[in-house]
Structure 1
């Protein structure tokens, strides 16, 4: 592998990592432009190191045929370490916040960029370019499709104060079911019990709301029910 090939592969790794990382940077994700470039570049360097190892081993065997059974070059060893090692970097971008998991796409992007970097380093230019186009299209175009056609749920928390505890509690649950709202957690404010009437109850509901249902709609619908005193977004 000559100097021209090394320069070409390093430049291509920077361009490919930057192309994928730009979309992540635009979305203000933890692993953005520079991170993806470095991952792709590092994977390309590891691939070229492997090629140098193979070439060096081959030259030594040609010079000393009697050492054929001694020298060994495992062409997949370093690549396998890159693929598994990037998983730790991707894990650092996955966050657990308010009952939801964020960063999975960014972690997957880092893993894919590393794989493409390996392809660049090994000289598979056609595969590298086509896979980069596929990744960018998936991140940009399919995101719009996902936003428009797939149902997503937002996590919100509302405070509801009501009377007729058991009856109204069942009514609230029935309303959530009718709107395809998922209850994640219910908390009752026992410390405020002395300030409430004997038949009153104050509950905090953490719910997953479908995209087509708004928080204002939930508050207005519940506020119209007889027995509900107050409904507010926490």
Structure 2
């Protein structure tokens, strides 16, 4: 039956299309320095196309056998469920912060685009790629604008206990527009044992402008009594 056969030119076109579309999505991830980048997305998209081509045309020799019922969607369904393990490997959790979710989702949609290209659903594959690239490039900037007011940073400051800089430090943060959500002050036990008493100050601050935060940190480093400083981003 002709429906179970495909020409070499058509097959090559579908595989090249899958390679190009997967590369477009991977290019954005590569620019962002993510764990799954250009080559990974190409391989996922291309591999999905190969599998759906195999599912549709790889068993054409058995199409006329009355005891065989071909299902071109069977292997494709396994790709959609199986790609999850690769996406899970890109998700990282560091304390309260979770990263890699967008990359995992981009791998999943790359598999879907590869299946579409391999099945000859050209318009769906191309328009999906355009929408995905727009989402990653354009919506990423919009998301950052809306998330600025939700950004929470943690500060760990080590200061000399004898200094009078704690009050000055808090006043400085307020002047920079940083809202203090949480504050804790502890005496460093190790330093107390040696006779040099230091305070460990933990702060969670909410900021609206990253530039203001950078300016505040730069001034804190040079502040009298400050002997150590660490900062990290937290999930809002």
Shorter chain as denominator, the TM-score bin is 0.7 to 0.9
Q: Judging changes above 3 Å, is the alpha-carbon distance between structure 1 residues 148 and 202 closer, same or farther for their aligned structure 2 residues? A: same
Answering whether residue 84 of structure 2 is matched by residue 87 of structure 1, we say yes
1:144 aligned counterpart, secondary structure: helix
Q: Tell me the equivalent position of 1:202.
A: 199
* Deviation sequence 1:141-192 (CA, Å, 0-9, x none): 11111222322525443215487xxxx89xx7xx89x944555998752212
Q: Judging changes above 3 Å, is the alpha-carbon distance between structure 1 residues 148 and 58 closer, same or farther for their aligned structure 2 residues? A: same
Answering whether residue 115 of structure 2 is matched by residue 118 of structure 1, we say yes
Instruction: Say whether the 8 Å CA contact 1:185–1:207 is kept in structure 2.
Output: no
Answering whether residue 47 of structure 2 is matched by residue 50 of structure 1, we say no
1:95 Cα offset (Å) = 2.2
Instruction: Say whether the 8 Å CA contact 2:116–2:122 is kept in structure 1.
Output: yes
Please, which runs of 5 or more residues in structure 1 have no aligned partner? Answer: 62-66
Q: Tell me the equivalent position of 1:153.
A: 151
* Deviation sequence 1:4-38 (CA, Å, 0-9, x none): 21011001001001111111111122211111111
**Residues in 1 aligned to 2:19 and 2:11: alpha-carbon distance in whole angstroms:** 12
**Residues in 2 aligned to 1:112 and 1:187: alpha-carbon distance in whole angstroms:** 48
Q: How does 1:33-44 map to 2 (within 5 A)?
A: 33-44=38-49
Q: Tell me the equivalent position of 2:97.
A: 100
Q: Judging changes above 3 Å, is the alpha-carbon distance between structure 1 residues 132 and 231 closer, same or farther for their aligned structure 2 residues? A: same
* Equivalent of residue 71 in structure 2, options 57, 70, 74: 74
Q: Judging changes above 3 Å, is the alpha-carbon distance between structure 1 residues 192 and 110 closer, same or farther for their aligned structure 2 residues? A: same
**Residues in 2 aligned to 1:211 and 1:182: alpha-carbon distance in whole angstroms:** 14
1:101 aligned counterpart, secondary structure: strand
Q: Judging changes above 3 Å, is the alpha-carbon distance between structure 1 residues 183 and 118 closer, same or farther for their aligned structure 2 residues? A: farther
1:96 aligned counterpart, secondary structure: strand
2:78 aligned counterpart, secondary structure: helix
Q: Judging changes above 3 Å, is the alpha-carbon distance between structure 1 residues 34 and 188 closer, same or farther for their aligned structure 2 residues? A: farther
Aligned length: 212
Instruction: Say whether the 8 Å CA contact 1:83–1:114 is kept in structure 2.
Output: yes
**Residues in 1 aligned to 2:184 and 2:80: alpha-carbon distance in whole angstroms:** 38
Q: Judging changes above 3 Å, is the alpha-carbon distance between structure 1 residues 187 and 130 closer, same or farther for their aligned structure 2 residues? A: farther
Please, which runs of 5 or more residues in structure 2 have no aligned partner? Answer: 1-5, 231-236
Once structures 1 and 2 are overlaid, which stretch shifts more, 83-92 or 121-130? 83-92
In angstroms, what is the RMSD of aligned CA positions? Answer: 3.5
1:89 Cα offset (Å) = 1.1
Instruction: Say whether the 8 Å CA contact 1:95–1:102 is kept in structure 2.
Output: yes
Q: Judging changes above 3 Å, is the alpha-carbon distance between structure 1 residues 186 and 84 closer, same or farther for their aligned structure 2 residues? A: farther
Instruction: Say whether the 8 Å CA contact 2:26–2:38 is kept in structure 1.
Output: yes
